[in-house]
Amino acid sequence: MIIGIGTDLANIERVERTLERFGDRFRNRVFTPVEQAKAERRVDVAGTYAKRWAAKEACSKALGTGLRMGISWKDMSVANLRTGQPTMAVTGWAKKRLEAMTPAGHRAVIHVTLTDDHPWAQAFVMIEAVPIAEP
């Protein structure tokens, strides 16, 4: 059962200008240390940040709040499995919101898709409620 869907576009060039203008202040406000480490290792640093920015926006929309109601940018974190598949972890208020919207007897699974085609980065987030198997 789908309980939330969100999508967002980010302009890579705008993120690049923001990084140039605000540097660490922007990075530290919006991205976790894991996200920063991933982006800084990539050839396309701005594109990597833009995809993660879009994923955070999309996740906030899937949670039904947008970036309001106490959700912080760093309450949503994008990481990658060893296979490269992106994942989304939520903490703080975002986690509380996810728990509140997940039906009893279910667990939430957040699916993330990231893509870019310069100058755009796009993310799609779908939150699925999966029944908890009885032992």
* pTM (two decimals): 0.92
CA 50 to chain centre: 11
What does the chain come to in residues?
135
d(CA 27, CA 105): 38
- Report the alpha-carbon angle 52-88-112, nearest 5: 75
Mind listing the pLDDT tens digit for each residue in 52-90? 999 999 999 999 887 666 678 999 999 999 999 999 999
Count of the separate structural domains present in the chain: 1
CATH of residue 126's domain is: 3.90.470.20
Q: 3-class SS at 39?
A: helix
Query: What is the extent of the structural domain holding 51?
Result: 2-131
Q: 3-class SS at 104?
A: coil
d(CA 75, CA 33): 12
